[in-house]
Structure 1
Amino acid sequence: MRIGVDVGGTFTDITLSTENGLVTAKTPTTEDQTVGVVRGIEKVCDAEGVEASEVEGTVHATTVGVNALLEGEGARTAVVTTEGFGDVPEIRRQTRDELYDLCAERAPPVVPSERRFEVDERATVDGTERRVDEEEIRDLPLDGIESVAVCYLHSYAHPENEEETARVLRDEFDGHVSVSSDVLAEFREYERASTTAIDAYVTPVVSGYLRRLNERLGEIGVPEPRVMSSNGGVKSPERVAETAVDTVMSGPAGGVVGASTYGDRVVSFDMGGTSTDVGLVRDGVERTTGTVVEGAHIGVPSVDVTTVGAGGGSIARTDDGGALRVGPDSAGSEPGPACYGRGGERPTVTDADVLLGYVRDGKGLGDEITVDADAAREALSALDGFDDVTEAALGVRRVADEKTARAVRSVTVERGYDPSEFVLVGFGGAGPGHAASVAGSLGIERVVVPRPAGVLSAYGILCADEKAEASRTLTEGEGVEEVLRKLEDEARDGVGEGCLVRRYADIRYTGQGTELTVRVGRPFDTDEAREAFEEEHATRYGYTMEEEVRVVSVRAEAVVERTPPATGGNNGGAEVDVRDAVFSEGVYETAFYDGVPEGTVETPAVVEYGEATAVVPPGWNARVEGGDLYMEAEG
C-alpha cells in the first residue's frame, strides 16, 4: 500500500493505493501542514480498515516552498556575488508584464540589497582570472543570516571560486549554502542568480517542514515520504534538503502527471476553487526550463502549467462599462460561495452551477456545508444587466468557461497544435462540471473525467517516476557528447542503478535569443539534433531557416519508471433521478446519478463523484468504464 498526499491552499488530498483500488479523502489544510497530512492519512487508513503502520511508502507534494515565496516567509538569506554584479537580481530583464504602464511596480527580489555582498573575484568563459580571497569570505557580515546563496560570474563554466567560497562558508557558517554551479550550471546571470537565491530562501523552510513531517509520520509508523518535484518526478528528502527550489511547483505537476495516464495527447484541465491550471501532454508531459512566481524567475525544469484566475469560488461582477467579469478575486473557503451558507454574499461560479441545477439544493458537502439554492439566487440577482437570475447564471458560467478556454488555447493553438487532436481530462473540484463546455468551444470532441477527479493531483503523485536531472551550458570548443556523458553519470547518481537515461539539448539558430529543448540521441548526432529542432521550430513558429544552429546547453534525465496504480472498480448501481437543469441550449430533463454508474449514461447527465460533480451537456454521449467517465461529442 502506498499513499499520495497533495497539500493545497484549502484542502489536503489523500489517495491510498491498495490491491482493491484507490481510497480517497480530503481534509482541511492546517496552518502547520503536518497536522492535516497526518489526519488525512489516518482518515484513509480508517476507511480501508488498515493500520497506518501497514503503509509501505508515501509520496508528497507540498506548498511550503511556494507559500514561503508568496508570503515572504523564507529563510533570512544573503547573496555572495562577483564585485559589480550585486544588483543583477534588481535589474532583471528588459521584458515587462505591463509594457505601457509607466508606474508598474515589480515585486522586490527575495534578498534585499543590504544582504547582497560583492567580493573581489573574477572568471570568464575562458578561465578563472582572479581567485577568491578566503579571508574576504570569512569577514562577511553574516550575523543573523540563516542561508547563503553563492553566485559568481561565469561559474557555470568555471566553478572553482564558488566551490572555494562554499567550502569556507560551510566551515565558518552554521546555515544552509546554495551554490549556483550546483543549482543551475547554465548561462544567463539573472536567471541563475534568481534561482540560486530562491533555493537558498526556501530550502531551510522546506527541509525543516519535512523533518517535522517525518517525525509525525514516524509516530504512526508511516515511512519517510518521497517528495514531488516541479519536473513531474519524485526524489528523496535528502536531495530536497540540499536543493528545494525544484519543489516550488510540485502540486500542479502532480495533476498533469495524473492526467497523462489517460493518453499520449492530453490537455489537463484542473479547475479548483480559485484558479484553473492547464497543462499539455504530447508524447510525455510538456515541460519548461523557466517558471515565474510572484515576479521571481526559477530556472529549473518544471511541468509547463498555465494558470488563470477562474475557479468555482471566483466572484462575478459587472464592471463600470456594464461587462460581466469573473475572477480573479475569489470567495475562498471562508466565507466561500453564497450557496455554502457561511456568510458569503457575492455571486460565484459555484452559485451559478447551483442555480442552473447542476448541484442540487440541500446537497451536503462534507460535514459542515449544505447547499442553499436560495442564497445562490439572492447573490446572483444582485448582478446588473440581466433580465432574470437564470440569464445571469448562464452568463457567469459562459464567462468562466471562456476564460479557462483561453488558457487551453495558450497551450495548444498558440503553440501550433490543433486542440481537436487532444483529449481533455477534467479534474479538480470544479473541472468535471465545466470540462465538456470548455472542450466544445475549442473543437475538442473527447473528454475524460477520471474516477479520482477530485484528488487527481494526489493520484498523479503516486504515478510519478523517480527522477534526477543535470544540465550545463556548453563553452567554446567543448564536445557535446563528452559533456552529455558526464551529465548522465551525475543524473544516475541521483536515482541509482536500473534507471532509464534521456538526453536533451537546448538549441537555437545563430543570432536567436531563446532556445528550444529537444530530445537527442546517444551518441549525439548533429544532423539528427538539427532535424528535431527544426521540426519543433516549425510547429511552434510556422517556419524554419537556413541559418546555422547552435547547441547552447545540454541536459540528462535519469528515470526509474513506475507503473500507475489502478484507480479501482466502480460503485455500480448508482441511484438515478431525473430533474430539470438549465443549459445554454435550454431547459432539459437531466439524469442525476448519485454515485458512479457503469456502462452507458443517459444524457444530458450529472454524475456525482465523491469529491467532484461531472456535467454531461446536451450534444454529448457518455459511458463509464471502471469508474472513469468518457464523453464524446455527437456527430
Structure 2
Amino acid sequence: MTGDDGDDSHPARLGVDVGGTFTDVALVVGDDLTTAKVPTTTPQHAGVLDGIREACAAAGIDPADVDAFAHATTASVNALLERDGARTALVTTAGFRDVLEIGRQTRPSLYDLDAETADPLVPRRRRFEVDERATTEGIERVVDPEAIRELADEIAESGAESVAVSLLHAYAHPDNEAAAAEVLREELDVPVSTSHDVLPEFREFERTATTAADAYLAPELDAYLRRVIADAADIGLPEPRVMRSNGGVADAETVRESAVTTVLSGPAAGVVGAAAVAEGATLGGAEAESGPPTGSAVTFDMGGTSSDVSLVRDGRVERTAETTIADVPLRTPTVDVETVGAGGGSIAWTDAGGALRVGPESAGADPGPACYGRGGSEATVTDADVLLGYIGQDAALGGDLSLDVDAARDALDRLADEAGIEAEGEGGGGGNADSDAPGDLDDATAAARGVFRVANATMARAIRSVTVERGRDPRAFDLVAFGGAGPMHAAALADRLDMDRVIVPGPAGVLSAYGLLAADETHDAARTLRLSLSDATAADLGDAFAELTDRVFEDASDPAAARVERAADCRYAGQSFELTVDAGRDAGDTGSAVDPDALAERFAAAHERAHGYRLDAAVEAVTLRVTAAVDVDAPTVSRTGSADARQGVRDVVFPESGTVEATVYDRDALRPGTGLDGPAVLAGTESTTVVPPAWDGRVRRDGTVVLERGDAESGGDDR
C-alpha cells in the first residue's frame, strides 16, 4: 500500500456517494475492495468524512494514502426536490418575462379542470426585462450597458442570491447576453448563469428553464464542494472529481461552473458501475448464439422508495439530452434513467374496484415497513418479501433495527381482508389472488405473493419502456440488479421478460460508490445549427463539429488522450421532435469531415426503429453534440470467501412454484467459482439475492454472482 512503503503499484482509489439516507463508500487498494455505509448527516459533508474514515480504518490505510477520490452528491437534486436553492433572479428579453410559467402549454392531467402545475423556480417579482433584440439572423438592437446597471440595482434590492440571463436567440447570437452578464458580474457579487454557456440550443422555454435551474443550484453546490474540498485537504485526501449526470466525472472547478449538470449524480454513478460489472461478466465468457452482446445490459436499481432502470448497449451507457426533475424540465446530457414508484417501502393498497396496487406512496424510513417494528402499519413490498421467506427472520436491517415478522403478517392480513384474498390450498385459491401456484398459503402469505407480483409488473413495465418501446428486445440484454432490494426481485423480473441472465454485482448495496471508480472523465458541448443535410457538405459538418471539439478539449485534463464521440439531433423537415443519432467517433482529428448522406441514413434507420416507418423527405440536422472522454480503467477486485458459506435451509414461496425448501448461503462468504443451484437465498450484509428453482449460477472472482435461467448456456466465469 502506498502509505506503508511508498509503492505506487497498488494505488488506493476512493468513491463516496451521498444518498438521502445513507452515504456509501467504496475503497479499492490493489484488488481489495472495502465498503462502508454510514447514515447521511446534516451537514452532508460531515457524513462524507465519517464514511471515509470508517472505510480507511477497515482497509488499514491512512486517508492520506488515497491516490484518487471521486464523489457523487445529492446537493443539487435535493435543492430541487425541497425547493431550497438560491433566491434567483431572471433577466430576459422584453416581452418574455413569463416564459417559465407559459411553458409548453402541456397539461399534466388533460381532463382535470383543477390541475395545478408546480411554481417556477423564479417568482415573477424577480423576473426582469431588458430592451434588446436578436433574431436567428443576428443582433437587431444592442443591449444598453447603462440600462443593465440600473437593472442591477433592482436585482440587488430584490434580495437575489444568483442571476440567470436568458435572452432571445442567444444560442445563435450571444453578444447581447454576454454584454449584459459582464455588467451584472461587475455590479453584483453573486453568480451569473448565461444561457449561451449553459444551453446553446434553441427552444426558448427549455433553455430558460435550464439556465434558471443552473443559477438556482450554483450557490448551494459551490458551498458544498468548497466544504468537501477543505475537509478532504484536512485529512490528506486529493481534491475530489465529481460525478455529473452524463455519467462522467470532472474536476470540482469545472463542475462549479455548471451546477445543473449534477442533478442525477448518484443514479448516474450506479449505472456506470453496473455497466462496468456487466462488461466484466461477459468478456471471455461462452456466449450462446442468441445470447446477449458483450456488455449489453438493463440496469435495475431497486431502493426503498423507487426503482431506476437504464440501458447499456455494447458497454456504452444510454444517455438523453433532456429530463424532468421535481417538475423542472432540464436539457442537459444525462444518463437515461426511467424511474417508477416501486421500492421496498412502497405501500400496497386496493383501489376503488378492489384491485391490488403497489406504490407510488412509500412508508419511508420512519416509520418504514411494518416489519421494521417502528409503528408502521401498512403492508409494503419489504413486508411481502419477509413473509415469502426471501428475508430471513434473523436478518439484520442495519443500526438498531431488528425484524418484526408478526407486524408484517398483521399488515398483510389486513391487506388480504381489504382485497378479498383468501388462503390457498393445493392447486387452488380464492379471492383475487393468483391461483396458478401449488402449495398451502395462509391469507397473509397469499397477499404477500400478490404484492410481489404486482410490484414486479410495475418494474417490468419500466424495463419494457427502455427496451421494447424503443425498438430493443429485452431478451438480448443481461439484467444487472443492485440496490438493497434489486437482487431479490431480479430473477422473477427476468422470467417475466424472457431474459436469460441476471448479474448481481459484488458491491450491489454500494454500487453507485463503486461506479465512481469506473467513471471516465467526460465533457459535453452542443450547438443548434438547423441545417438541411441535402444542402450540407461534409466539410460544413466537420467544421461545426471541430468547433465543439475545441470547446470540450478546453475542459479535458488530457486532450491528447481524449476519445471524441459526435452525435446529431435530426428530424424530417416539418417535424417538431428530433432523434439523436451517432455521427461517428473521432480519435482527435478535430477537422475530420462527416458525410451528410450517411448521417441522414442513420437517422432514417433510427426513426424506423423507434416509430416503425421512414419517410422520403428531407432530413435536418438541428443540434450537433460532441462528447470527449478520457478513459479510466475500472478497478479489478478479487474476493477469497470461506470454506463453507452454507447457513442452512428454509421455506421460501415462489410465485410459480409455491412453497419450496431453499438453501441459504452467506453471500459475503461465497468462494469464487462456487456453483449455485436454485432454489437458494444468498443473504448479504447490504442486499439479499434470491435464486428461483430452474435457475443456477456461479460466483466470479470479484464476488459478482452470474445467474442463468433454465438451460441457458453459462456466461459466468471465475476470473
TM-score normalized with structure 2 length: 0.87
Shift of 1:594: 1.6
Instruction: Say if 2:384 is the partner of 1:352.
Output: yes
Matching residue of 1:582 = 653
Q: Which has the larger displacement, 404-413 or 219-228?
A: 219-228
Instruction: Say if 2:306 is the partner of 1:275.
Output: yes
Instruction: Say if 2:17 is the partner of 1:6.
Output: yes
Q: Which amino acid aligns with 1:135?
A: E
Within 1, Cα distance between the matches of 2:107 and 2:311? 26
Within 2, Cα distance between the matches of 1:83 and 1:490? 31
Report 1:114-193 matches (<5 A).
114-140=125-151, 141-143=154-156, 144-193=159-208
Matching residue of 2:106 = 95
Q: Which has the larger displacement, 212-221 or 458-467?
A: 212-221
Within 1, Cα distance between the matches of 2:637 and 2:307? 23
Within 1, Cα distance between the matches of 2:366 and 2:240? 31
Local SS of the residue matching 2:414: coil
Q: Which amino acid aligns with 1:586?
A: G
Among 109, 117, 120, the alignment partner of 1:109 is 120
Cα 1:592–1:111 change in 2 (3 A) is same
Report 1:251-262 matches (<5 A).
251-261=266-276, 262=278
Instruction: Say if 2:256 is the partner of 1:221.
Output: no
Shift of 1:570: 4.2
- String of CA shifts for 1:272-318, please: whole Å, max 9, x gaps: 00000000112311111101112211101100000001101111122
Shift of 1:208: 0.6
RMSD: 1.3
Among 569, 573, 591, the alignment partner of 2:663 is 591
Among 430, 436, 440, the alignment partner of 2:485 is 430
Matching residue of 2:705 = 629
Instruction: Say if 2:302 is the partner of 1:247.
Output: no
Aligned residues: 635
Residue 157 of structure 1 contacts residue 475 of structure 1 at CA under 8 Å; is this kept in 2? no
Within 2, Cα distance between the matches of 1:222 and 1:610? 28
Among 577, 593, 599, the alignment partner of 1:523 is 593
Matching residue of 1:386 = 421
Matching residue of 1:287 = 319
Local SS of the residue matching 1:507: strand
Runs (5+) with no aligned partner, structure 2: 1-11, 280-294, 423-442, 585-591, 712-719
Structure of greater Rg: 2
Residue 677 of structure 2 contacts residue 695 of structure 2 at CA under 8 Å; is this kept in 1? no
Among 87, 90, 93, the alignment partner of 1:82 is 93
- String of CA shifts for 1:168-189, please: whole Å, max 9, x gaps: 0111110000000000000000
Within 2, Cα distance between the matches of 1:204 and 1:175? 8
Residue 432 of structure 1 contacts residue 613 of structure 1 at CA under 8 Å; is this kept in 2? yes
Runs (5+) with no aligned partner, structure 1: none
Q: Which has the larger displacement, 415-424 or 96-105?
A: 96-105
Instruction: Say if 2:607 is the partner of 1:537.
Output: yes
Within 2, Cα distance between the matches of 1:618 and 1:459? 31
Within 1, Cα distance between the matches of 2:637 and 2:106? 45
Within 1, Cα distance between the matches of 2:14 and 2:371? 33
- String of CA shifts for 1:475-512, please: whole Å, max 9, x gaps: 56993222211110100111132211111111111111
- String of CA shifts for 1:194-235, please: whole Å, max 9, x gaps: 000000000111111111111222222212111100000011
Local SS of the residue matching 2:464: helix
Matching residue of 1:206 = 221
Among 456, 467, 470, the alignment partner of 1:412 is 467
Identity %: 54
Matching residue of 1:506 = 569
- Structure 1 outlier segments of 4+, above 4 Å: 475-478
Within 1, Cα distance between the matches of 2:685 and 2:32? 15
Matching residue of 1:485 = 546
Shift of 1:326: 1.1
Residue 541 of structure 2 contacts residue 593 of structure 2 at CA under 8 Å; is this kept in 1? no
Among 507, 524, 527, the alignment partner of 1:469 is 524
Cα 1:366–1:302 change in 2 (3 A) is same
Local SS of the residue matching 2:598: helix
Within 2, Cα distance between the matches of 1:3 and 1:377? 42
Q: Which amino acid aligns with 2:646?
A: E
Q: Which amino acid aligns with 1:378?
A: D
Within 1, Cα distance between the matches of 2:411 and 2:172? 60
Residue 571 of structure 1 contacts residue 595 of structure 1 at CA under 8 Å; is this kept in 2? no
Instruction: Say if 2:547 is the partner of 1:547.
Output: no
Within 1, Cα distance between the matches of 2:613 and 2:510? 41
Cα 1:348–1:570 change in 2 (3 A) is farther
Residue 530 of structure 2 contacts residue 620 of structure 2 at CA under 8 Å; is this kept in 1? no
Within 2, Cα distance between the matches of 1:570 and 1:28? 28
Q: Which amino acid aligns with 2:555?
A: G
Within 2, Cα distance between the matches of 1:99 and 1:427? 36
